[in-house]
């Protein structure tokens, strides 16, 4: 844990390399960060493709030696992002580097968490590990999904930071491998194969998060009236299969297009009594049907009284949703930098073209490149005609961690953008 000297504004920089050689890739991404940061790095977040898993120690050591961050975290991913480039299923290393004057950077691994139960003592110890308090601006978590029941961990983190205990919990699940033991994280010089790593940021910093859904709803909201585990047995007193079939029939011939990308169950995480909006649902795929009992199996637990709505993957709706959210951000101060965590179901799988989310973000905050930048040789990690006004880096995740109405959850099919800004003067920092 360390605190930088409070003498300047926060500064972020991003770098990327598609080099297959791990050390060369790390050096090139670090060089881009160092050029953009022009200050000591207090924190570096490294996102790397499966191609670099066998050289993960070299990757961490090279970043430490070249960029010299006081705190270093890393997560393996199916694809990485920096600037307006998305490297999908290809070699890639991207880095988001932070210079955070006056901000306390507190790193930890989930193994430092207490036994998570409902006792006040457990909650108090967890608050102490993550540094919960009024000046906690955000928690960044990167998780190995096969070893950690992270929905449960996240429930306790939400409790620990509730009631003025901190800002959003953001991050994502490692996605380099779909099997246990195939992913890796690092925290400074430690290589971690199970659990997760986190960083808390406390002090003069503003952190905002937006969640853009990759699905569009259809049919009416329905209330779960019977459920068991992750099985929806009844909706509105009707067998779940029959209730869903009626909604699909109402869609006419368009139902075939709706189901082309799979059926998703949007679950409202909390009971609400007013209208449900686009940001009120967590996407969970309908995994299977049990015809004998008329139930639908989802990717997460459901409970009686929960409201659900059917959703379908939709590139046009995803594009519009992200554009609208980014337009709203232009009403505020320009961010100093951003972390983009997108579902590994997005990218070319959803949009049928490369770089969609990254380019939407950089385009929103972009300014024309200077003549000096245009005259530089080589291929930068952003397009050559314009430079991004905001440094952006991130990765494609097996689950995105971001808030809905103030409480964080594991999202799917979404693009989650965390924006880092100078401290709000109203916060008194």
Q: What is the pLDDT of residues 195-222, one digit of tens each?
A: 999 999 999 999 999 999 999 999 999 9
Distance CA(74)–CA(223), nearest Å, equals 40
Distance CA(110)–CA(143), nearest Å, equals 9
Distances (CA, A) of 228 to 293, 296, 301: 12, 10, 8
| Neighbour tally for 122: CB within 10 Å | 17
Phi and psi at residue 428, to the nearest 5° = 80, 15
Q: What is the pLDDT of residue 274?
A: 61
Report the sign of the C-alpha dihedral through residues 126, 129, 132, 137, in that order. negative
Q: Tell whether the model's pLDDT for residue 416 goes beyond 90.
A: yes
Condensed to tens digits (0 to 9), the pLDDT of residues 394-409 reads 999 999 999 988 889 9
Of 331, 339, 341, 335, whose CA–CA distance to 390 is shortest?
A: 335
Band (185; pLDDT cuts 50, 70, 90) = very high
Residue with tokens 């709505």: 309
Residue 422 gets which letter from DSSP?
Answer: P
> In angstroms, how far is CA 311 from the centroid of its own chain?
21
Band (148; pLDDT cuts 50, 70, 90) = confident
Residue with tokens 């898993």: 53
pTM exceeding 0.75: yes
Report the sign of the C-alpha dihedral through residues 188, 141, 337, 392, in that order. positive
Band (388; pLDDT cuts 50, 70, 90) = low
Q: Tell whether the model's pLDDT for residue 374 goes beyond 50.
A: no
Contacts of residue 166, defined as CB under 8 A and 6 or more positions apart, other chains included, come to 130, 131, 132, 133, 136, 137, 138, 139, 160, 200
Q: Give me the percent of the chain exceeding a pLDDT of 70.
A: 90
Distance CA(390)–CA(335), nearest Å, equals 6
Band (273; pLDDT cuts 50, 70, 90) = low
Distance CA(342)–CA(354), nearest Å, equals 13
Q: Tell whether the model's pLDDT for residue 385 goes beyond 50.
A: no
Instruction: Let me know: does 203 contact 3? Beta carbons within 8 Å.
Output: yes
Diameter of the chain measured on Cα atoms: 69
Q: What is the pLDDT of residue 106?
A: 98
Report the sign of the C-alpha dihedral through residues 76, 80, 82, 87, in that order. positive
Name the β-bridge partners of 295: 290
Name the β-bridge partners of 227: 232
Q: What is the pLDDT of residue 1?
A: 65
Instruction: Let me know: does 108 contact 198? Beta carbons within 8 Å.
Output: yes
Contacts of residue 294, defined as CB under 8 A and 6 or more positions apart, other chains included, come to 233, 239, 240, 241, 242
Q: Rounded to 5 degrees, what angle do the CA atoms 103, 26, 384 make?
A: 90
Q: Tell whether the model's pLDDT for residue 327 goes beyond 80.
A: yes
Instruction: Let me know: does 229 contact 325? Beta carbons within 8 Å.
Output: no
3-state secondary structure 147-176: CCCHHHHHHHHHHHCCCCCCCCEEEEECCC
> In angstroms, how far is CA 18 from the centroid of its own chain?
22
Q: Give me the percent of the chain exceeding a pLDDT of 90.
A: 77
Distance CA(277)–CA(294), nearest Å, equals 28
- Least confident stretch, 84-88, 130-134, 164-168: 164-168
Instruction: Let me know: does 92 contact 18? Beta carbons within 8 Å.
Output: yes
Q: What is the pLDDT of residue 7?
A: 57
Q: Tell whether the model's pLDDT for residue 387 goes beyond 70.
A: no
Residue with tokens 């928690």: 139
Q: Give the three-class secondary structure for 379.
A: coil
User: What is the bridge-based pairing of β-strands 136-143 and 169-173?
Assistant: parallel
Phi and psi at residue 366, to the nearest 5° = -85, 150
- Over range 225-242, report the average pLDDT: 96
Distance CA(177)–CA(85), nearest Å, equals 22
Instruction: Let me know: does 92 contact 396? Beta carbons within 8 Å.
Output: no
Contacts of residue 340, defined as CB under 8 A and 6 or more positions apart, other chains included, come to 81, 357, 358, 361, 392, 393, 394, 415, 416, 417
- Over range 100-128, report the average pLDDT: 93
């Amino acid at each position: 844990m360390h605190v930088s000297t409070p003498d300047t504004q926060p500064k972020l920089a991003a770098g990327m390399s598609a080099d297959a050689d791990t050390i060369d890739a790390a050096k090139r991404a670090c060089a881009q960060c160092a050029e953009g940061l022009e200050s000591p790095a207090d924190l570096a977040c490294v996102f790397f493709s499966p191609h670099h898993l066998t050289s993960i120690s070299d990757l961490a050591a090279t970043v430490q030696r070249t960029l010299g961050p006081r705190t270093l975290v890393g997560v393996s991913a199916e694809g990485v992002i920096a600037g307006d480039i998305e490297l999908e299923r290809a070699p890639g290393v991207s880095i988001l580097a932070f210079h955070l004057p006056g901000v306390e950077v507190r790193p930890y691994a989930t193994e430092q968490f207490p036994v998570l139960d409902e006792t006040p003592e457990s909650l108090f110890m967890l608050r102490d590990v993550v540094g919960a308090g009024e000046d906690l601006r955000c928690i960044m978590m990167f998780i190995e999904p096969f070893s950690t029941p992270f929905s449960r961990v996240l429930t306790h983190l939400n409790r620990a930071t509730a009631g003025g205990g901190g800002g959003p919990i953001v991050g994502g699940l490692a996605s380099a491998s779909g099997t246990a033991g195939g992913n890796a994280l690092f925290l400074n010089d430690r290589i971690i194969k199970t659990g997760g790593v986190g960083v808390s940021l406390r002090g003069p910093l503003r952190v905002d998060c937006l969640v853009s859904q990759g699905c569009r709803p259809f049919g009416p909201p329905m209330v779960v009236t019977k459920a068991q585990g992750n099985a929806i047995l009844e909706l509105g007193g009707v067998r779940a299969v029959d209730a869903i079939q009626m909604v699909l029939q109402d869609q006419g011939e368009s139902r075939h297009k709706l189901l082309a990308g799979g059926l998703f169950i949007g679950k409202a995480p909390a009971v609400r009594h007013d209208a449900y909006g686009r940001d009120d649902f967590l996407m969970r795929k309908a995994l299977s049907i049990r015809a004998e009992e008329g139930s639908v199996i989802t990717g997460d637990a459901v409970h009686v009284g929960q409201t659900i709505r059917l959703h379908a993957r939709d590139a046009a709706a995803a594009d519009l949703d992200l554009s609208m959210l980014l337009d709203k951000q232009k009403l505020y101060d320009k961010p100093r930098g951003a972390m983009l965590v997108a579902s590994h179901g997005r990218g070319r799988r959803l949009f049928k073209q490369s770089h969609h989310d990254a380019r939407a973000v950089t385009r929103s905050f972009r300014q024309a490149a200077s003549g000096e930048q245009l005259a530089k040789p080589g291929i930068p990690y952003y397009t050559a005609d314009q430079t991004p006004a905001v440094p952006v880096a991130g990765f494609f995740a097996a689950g995105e961690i971001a808030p809905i109405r103030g409480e964080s959850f594991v999202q799917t099919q979404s693009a989650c953008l965390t924006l880092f800004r100078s401290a709000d003067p109203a916060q008194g920092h």
